Amino acid sequence: CSAPRPAQAISGSTVPTDPHWLGPRRDARLSPRTGVVPFMALLLLQRRPVAGRVLLVTGPGCPGHGLCRSNVQEQTRRQVALLNATAQDLFSLYLKCQGEPFSSETDKLCNPGGVFFPAFRVNRTSERKEVMVAMYKLFAFLNASLGNITHDQEELNPTAKELLDRLHNTTKTTRGLISNLTCLLCKNYNVFQVDVSYGESSKGKSAFKKKQQGCQVLRKYVQVIAQAARILLPHLSPP
């Protein structure tokens, strides 16, 4: 991770507020590199946490029916496991790349209590459908948030290649996870619509605030993904 830029928020600079900030995700067809679901991207236009209802199916039958194979469940588990396995490293690398005071004041600056994060109130005994829906909500939020964080880091730490790569990969994984969950919800549980909530946009915030928001989201992500992995394991393990 290259030397981080000085946190402008600390210096007290003003964060520009542009309610029409679109960034690179203006195109409805999401770049594979960003891995952010287009619908979510639209939601990111909002500066506040927003709620929405995602229409999983737009036509008759489940989307990509031929792709919703029996291995999707295992793929979903592997994806969650992969995210869980890489979350801590991602967070550590993020902190490292943000420089001080994030490295030393992590607990204080990155306390996730101050940011929105979707509730993940399922456990091992929850119904599988409920778990799947909760997972969908969680990863829909994460996908959007990771997209924003990635975008912010591309501006703040454009030379932090590894961090950016990890952010990209994580974002892509969440996108793939959403694809698989969509497949599972549609095919197995006939769920065609899910209400989702997205986080607050960092658009217009200071660099410090962007960093802090990213740090808070990622820290929460580390905690939630571990929980999700634990919960999901018995539900998605092969019979």
CB of 199 to another protein, least distance (A): 22
Residue bearing tokens 């790569």 = 165
Using CB under 8 A, pick the residue from 5, 15, 46, 86 that binds another protein.
86
Using CB under 8 A, pick the residue from 1, 9, 42, 81 that binds another protein.
81
Q: Which stretch binds another protein (CB under 8 A): 3-11, 83-91, 104-112, 148-156?
A: 83-91
CB 56 within 8 A of CB 182: yes
Beta bridge partners of 193: 55
CB of 32 to another protein, least distance (A): 6
CB of 14 to another protein, least distance (A): 36
Q: Is 66 in the site for another protein (CB under 8 A)?
A: yes
For residue 236, the one-letter residue type is: L
Burial per residue of 95-121, b for 16 or more beta-carbon CB atoms within 10 angstroms, e otherwise: bebbbeebeeebeebbebeebbbbebe
- The site for another protein, by CB under 8 A, has a size of 36
Q: Is 32 in the site for another protein (CB under 8 A)?
A: yes
What's the rounded Cα separation, in Å, for the pair 170 and 34? Answer: 10
Using CB under 8 A, pick the residue from 42, 82, 226, 233 that binds another protein.
82
CB of 99 to another protein, least distance (A): 23
Structure tokens at 218: 């990622």
Q: Is 55 in the site for another protein (CB under 8 A)?
A: no
Task: Count other C-beta atoms under 10 Å from residue 70's C-beta.
Answer: 8
Q: According to CB under 8 A, which residues from 160 to 179 bind another protein?
A: 165-166, 169, 172-173, 175-176, 179
Task: Count other C-beta atoms under 10 Å from residue 72's C-beta.
Answer: 19
Q: Is 34 in the site for another protein (CB under 8 A)?
A: no
What's the rounded Cα separation, in Å, for the pair 109 and 176? Answer: 31
Q: Is 105 in the site for another protein (CB under 8 A)?
A: no
Q: Is 40 exposed, middle or buried (0-12, 13-18, 19+ CB in 10 A)?
A: buried
CB of 19 to another protein, least distance (A): 28
Q: Is 156 in the site for another protein (CB under 8 A)?
A: no
CB 151 within 8 A of CB 163: no
Using CB under 8 A, pick the residue from 8, 34, 84, 213 that binds another protein.
84
Residue 122: C-alpha distances to residues 126, 130, 135, 145, 172 (Å) = 6, 7, 9, 21, 24
DSSP 62: -
- CB-nearer residue toward another protein: 110 or 164: 164
- For Cα atoms 138, 142, 145, give the angle at the middle one, nearest 5 degrees: 140
Q: Note the residues at the interface with another protein (CB under 8 A).
A: 29-30, 32-33, 35, 56, 62-69, 71-72, 75-76, 78-79, 81-82, 84-86, 165-166, 169, 172-173, 175-176, 179-180, 182-183
